[in-house]
Amino acid sequence: MAIRGFAGRTPRLGARAYVDAMALALGDVTLGDDASLWPMAVARGDVQAIRIGARTNIQDGSVLHVTQDNRFNPGGRALIIGDDVTVGHGVILHACTVEDLVLVGMGSTVLDGAVIQSRVMIGAGSLVSPNKVLESGYLYLGSPAKQARPLTEKELEYLEFSAKHYVELKNLHLQEAVREER
């Protein structure tokens, strides 16, 4: 696993968390139980905290970062990701809050101060502007992201399914790693 401390802070992994050997968790980063950080994903908590909830998956090539304390950003801003979140390939999450049971589509960007409420889907390639709040229960699309329509019952079920699927896949990767160590 690629886990590095910085400035006296070392990433903390919950039970059965997975950080791929080609991913990076750096500094003040916490992964909850059964969370996963996939190949080429970076969680860089060098100047502020990153918290990743239980059963949340950060897929390949995603970048997670924060905002430092300075005169333009007093106190800085952490990145908080809730439980059962699916972060698609190539996503950028920067100093924002993503609540529980959210799917962030591939190639999307969520900027400083944005709040993604629980049970939201963000379509691939969307841009969530700074300080924007995405209301629970909706699909958001576009650049800038706009509320498209309410989520269907099937889509709401899929949010939970996606998180569970990635826990199962992560477990297979952990089992494979144990076999290779022997």
Q: Domains, the chain, ranges and CATH?
A: 3-181 (2.160.10.10)
* Per-residue confidence (pLDDT) for residue 24, from 0 to 100: 97
Burial (CB count <10 Å: 0-12, 13-18, 19+), residue 6: middle
Q: List the one residue out of 107, 105, 103, 102 whose CA is nearest residue 117.
A: 102
Q: How far apart are CA 182 and CA 172, in angstroms?
A: 16
pLDDT of residue 140: 98
Q: Report pLDDT for 90.
A: 98
Indicate whether this model's pTM tops 0.75: yes
Q: How confident is the model at residue 42, as a pLDDT?
A: 98
Per-residue pLDDT, 139: 98
CA distances from residue 62 to 36, 79, 164 in whole angstroms, order as listed = 12, 14, 19
DSSP secondary structure of 85-132: -EE-TT-EEES-EE-SSEEE-TT-EE-TT-EE-SSEEE-TT-EE-TT-
Q: What is the mean pLDDT of each run of 10 residues along the chain (182 residues)?
A: 89 96 97 98 97 98 97 95 98 98 98 98 98 98 98 98 97 85 70
What is the rounded CA–CA span in Å between residue 84 and residue 25? 19
User: How many whole angstroms separate alpha carbon 44 and alpha carbon 57?
Assistant: 16
Beta bridge partners of 115: 97, 133
